[in-house]
Amino acid sequence: MPSLQDQLRGLVYSTEHGETCPDCRRPVAECECRAREEAERIAALDGIVRIRRETSGRKGKGVTTIQGVPLDAEALKTLAKSLKKRCGTGGSVKDGVIEIQGDHRDVLRRELESLGYKVKLAGG
């Protein structure tokens, strides 16, 4: 990891190209860092979708999280939208994890299995 001084000295904007990526120092339009990170995330998955109910750090509110879906960011958002609509509740996608408000593990399991994914209920 570069030192703090190296991070602060990096070019963030150029009048010639506009914004630049802080990692590869190329113009944002030519940067491939995000695509490479997304490909590495998908390659690291084992093919099993895990559904878990979490309450920690959420002031006691239950959230159902879905991890391990082998889709890119845009397809993951589309899947999350259809799952939220199926459950009739809100949610979001953060760092490749779909979060659905409330406890909907059984509904989500049936829905994902019907889409052809291998699903496990994780975390008790």
CATH number, domain with residue 54: 3.30.780.10
Task: Give per-residue pLDDT as tens, 16-42.
Answer: 777 888 778 788 888 888 888 888 888
Q: 10 pLDDT band (50/70/90 cuts)?
A: low
State the total domains in the chain: 1
Query: Percentage of the chain surpassing pLDDT 90?
Result: 47
Domain ranges, residue 114: 47-122
- Mean pLDDT score, 50-57: 88
Q: Beta strands of the chain (E only): which ranges?
A: 13-14, 18-19, 48-54, 63-67, 91-94, 97-101, 118-121
Q: Note whether residue 33 is domain-resident.
A: no
Q: Note whether residue 5 is domain-resident.
A: no
